[in-house]
Amino acid sequence: VRQAVLAASAFEERILAHRRTVETISALASRGENSFTLQDYLDSIVKTRPEILDVQLVNRDGAVLLARTNKTPGLETSSVKAVKD
């Protein structure tokens, strides 16, 4: 039981770290940060977090503004707009 609690806690911390990353880039984008800075940030995300396959910065309508991928060639990408609709 103790191992399960520790594993759950570690998993929760990892999810919270990912959430903070997404919230940070969202805040930068909403403040009008230039696209070069945002692109560098997306590059950093996919380089330092191999479990993240695809990062897309989208507008309110779901249109992709910037994107970076770390996925295997041939693996299909779906836009958040397609999922949203």
Mean pLDDT, residues 47-60 taken together: 78
DSSP summary character for residue 23:
H
pLDDT over threshold 90, residue 6: yes
pTM score > 0.95 for this model?
A: no
Distant-in-sequence contacts of 50-57, Cβ < 8 A, 24+ apart: 52/18, 56/80, 57/25, 57/29
pLDDT band at 3, cuts 50/70/90?
very high
Which one is predicted more confidently, 11 or 41? 11
Q: Quickly count helices (H) and strands (E) in the chain.
A: 3, 2
85, pLDDT greater than 70: no
Q: What is the mean pLDDT of the chain?
A: 81
Q: Does 9 score more than 90 pLDDT?
A: yes
Name the residue among 46, 47, 4, 13 with its Cα closest to residue 56.
46
